[in-house]
Chains A and B, each alone.
Chain A
Amino acid sequence: MKKVIENSIERKAFFKLIFLSAFSIFLPKSLTAKNSSPEESPVQDENYNAYDHKWGMCIDIDKCIGCGRCANACKEENDVPREPFFFRTWVERYKIFGKGEVVIDSPNGGVDGFHNEHSERNPERSFFVPKLCNHCENPPCTQVCPVGATFKSVDGVILVDKDYCIGCSYCIQACPYGARYLHPVTKTAEKCTFCYHRLVNDKSPACVEVCPTQARIFGEMEKKSSPLVRFRRMEKIGVLKPALNTEPKVLYAHLDMEVK
Chain B
Amino acid sequence: MLKKLKSIPEQVIRLAVILVIIVVVFVIVRAELVPDDFGELGHYRKGAVDEIASLELKYAGQETCEMCHDDILETKSNGYHRSVNCEVCHGPSAKHSEAPDEFLPSAPRKRDFCPVCHEYLPSRPTGFPQIVSASHNPVKPCITCHEPHNPVPPETPHECSACHAEISRVKSISHHAYLECKTCHEVPEQHKLDPRGNAASKPATREFCGKCHAEENEDYPGVPQIDLAEHEPRYVCWQCHYPHMPEAK
Is this pair of chains taken from one and the same complex? yes
Q: Which residue of A lies closest to B127 (CB)?
A: A62
Residue A169, interface by CB 8 Å:
no
Contacts of B88 in A (CB 8 A): 69, 210-212
For window 202-226 of A, CB contacts with B under 8 Å fall at 203-204, 206, 209-214
Interface of A is mostly: loop
Contacts of B92 in A (CB 8 A): 73, 76-77, 206
Cα–Cα distance between A197 and B128 once the two chains are bound (Å): 33
Most chain B CB within a 10 A radius of its CB, from A161, A196, A198, A206: A161
Q: A22 and B23: CB pair below 8 A?
A: yes
Contacts of B24 in A (CB 8 A): 18
Cα–Cα distance between A176 and B166 once the two chains are bound (Å): 38
Q: A204 and B61: CB pair below 8 A?
A: yes
Residue B230, interface by CB 8 Å:
no
Query: Could you say which of A42, A68, A128 contacts B123, with CB atoms under 8 Å apart?
Result: A128
A138 to chain B, nearest CB (A): 15
For window 140-196 of A, CB contacts with B under 8 Å fall at 148-154, 159, 161-164, 193, 196
Interface of B is mostly: loop
Q: B85 and A209: CB pair below 8 A?
A: yes
Q: Which residue of A lies closest to B34 (CB)?
A: A29
A196-B62 CB under 8 A given contacts A21-B27, A65-B128: no
A73-115: CB near B (< 8 Å → 1, else 0) gives 1001110000000000000011100000000000000000111
Residue A242, interface by CB 8 Å:
no
Contacts of B52 in A (CB 8 A): 159, 193, 196-197
A197-B49 CB under 8 A given contacts A29-B34, A73-B92, A95-B123: no
Cα–Cα distance between A91 and B12 once the two chains are bound (Å): 64
Q: Which residue of B lies closest to A31 (CB)?
A: B39
Q: A197 and B85: CB pair below 8 A?
A: no
Residue A6, interface by CB 8 Å:
no
Contacts of B83 in A (CB 8 A): 212-214
A162 to chain B, nearest CB (A): 8
Query: Could you say which of A36, A65, A150, A162 contacts B117, with CB atoms under 8 Å apart?
Result: A65
Cα–Cα distance between A35 and B37 once the two chains are bound (Å): 10
Cα–Cα distance between A163 and B51 once the two chains are bound (Å): 10
A197-B54 CB under 8 A given contacts A67-B116, A123-B122: yes
Residue A201, interface by CB 8 Å:
yes
B56-75: CB near A (< 8 Å → 1, else 0) gives 11110111000000000000
B112 to chain A, nearest CB (A): 9
A92 to chain B, nearest CB (A): 10
Cα–Cα distance between A94 and B27 once the two chains are bound (Å): 55
Contacts of A13 in B (CB 8 A): none
Residue A122, interface by CB 8 Å:
yes
Cα–Cα distance between A149 and B51 once the two chains are bound (Å): 13
Cα–Cα distance between A62 and B53 once the two chains are bound (Å): 32
For window 23-65 of B, CB contacts with A under 8 Å fall at 23-24, 26-27, 30-31, 34-36, 38-46, 48-59, 61-63
A115-139: CB near B (< 8 Å → 1, else 0) gives 1100010110011100000000000
B135-167: CB near A (< 8 Å → 1, else 0) gives 000000000000000000000000000000000
Query: Could you say which of A21, A29, A127, A206 contacts B125, with CB atoms under 8 Å apart?
Result: A127
Q: Which residue of A lies closest to B85 (CB)?
A: A209
Cα–Cα distance between A50 and B46 once the two chains are bound (Å): 12
Cα–Cα distance between A113 and B88 once the two chains are bound (Å): 13
Q: Which residue of B lies closest to A48 (CB)?
A: B53
A-B contacts, 9 listed (Cβ < 8 Å): A22-B26, A43-B53, A114-B121, A116-B119, A128-B123, A164-B44, A196-B49, A203-B63, A212-B81
Residues on A facing B (Cβ under 8 Å): 17-18, 21-22, 25, 28-30, 32-36, 42-45, 48, 50, 62-69, 73, 76-78, 93-95, 113-116, 120, 122-123, 126-128, 148-154, 159, 161-164, 193, 196-198, 200-201, 203-204, 206, 209-214
Known: A43-B50, A66-B124, A115-B121. 9 other contacts (CB 8 A): A28-B43, A29-B34, A33-B36, A35-B40, A76-B58, A164-B44, A196-B53, A200-B53, A212-B88
